[in-house]
Structure 1
């Protein structure tokens, strides 16, 4: 079965949904990486690992949450997806307030 190409609006909506889930700690950065690699780029682990210059095993470990990556490595693997690592408050309530402020201004 051939994968359906996502439109730019669909890609943006998926990215927004995943980023919100990540901030709310509903999913991990590895789960975000896996879903974007598959659904946005339509690449296998081997293809994506080659693209970002890491081993397939390292990518697999990142996606499964079995790695303790550096900020540099996270930036390296998220760069092709147009993402970078950033700082968020550790306090969940403050993160939720930031999401509410962003959604009311956006």
Structure 2
């Protein structure tokens, strides 16, 4: 994957997260598979998480801390924060 393709995937993940189309777990799974291509155990190690914690995070079965989320998103130039809510098209 070249740098432009990588940036496109990162932008797509960010936009889908912001719109609510993609869950946190789905975003983590996409980052792991599409950007790194790593298996769960290696990606977990890279993020300093247990493989079990990563599995639960990817399945949206956990309540991760900001520290955990930033450990996962940080290597991709992202961090968790508060962003303005986009206006609804229905209003």
- Is the TM-score greater than 0.5? yes
Q: Which moved more, 1:80-89 or 1:36-45?
A: 80-89
Match of 2:55 among 28, 37, 60: 60
Per-residue deviation at 1:29?
1.4
Question: Per the alignment, in what secondary structure is the counterpart of residue 87 of structure 2?
Answer: helix
- Return the alpha-carbon distance in structure 2 between the equivalents of residues 71 and 53 of structure 1: 14
TM-score (norm 1): 0.77
TM-score (norm 2): 0.89
Deviant stretches of 4+, over 3 Å: none
What's the counterpart of residue 72 of structure 2?
77
Match of 2:13 among 15, 18, 23: 18
What's the counterpart of residue 45 of structure 1?
40
How many residue pairs end up in the alignment?
Answer: 89
Q: Which structure has the larger Rg?
A: 1
Gaps of 5+ in 1: 1-5, 97-106
Kindly indicate which of the two structures has a greater share of residues assigned to helix: 1
What's the counterpart of residue 83 of structure 2?
88
Task: Kindly indicate whether residue 26 of structure 2 is the aligned counterpart of residue 31 of structure 1.
Answer: yes
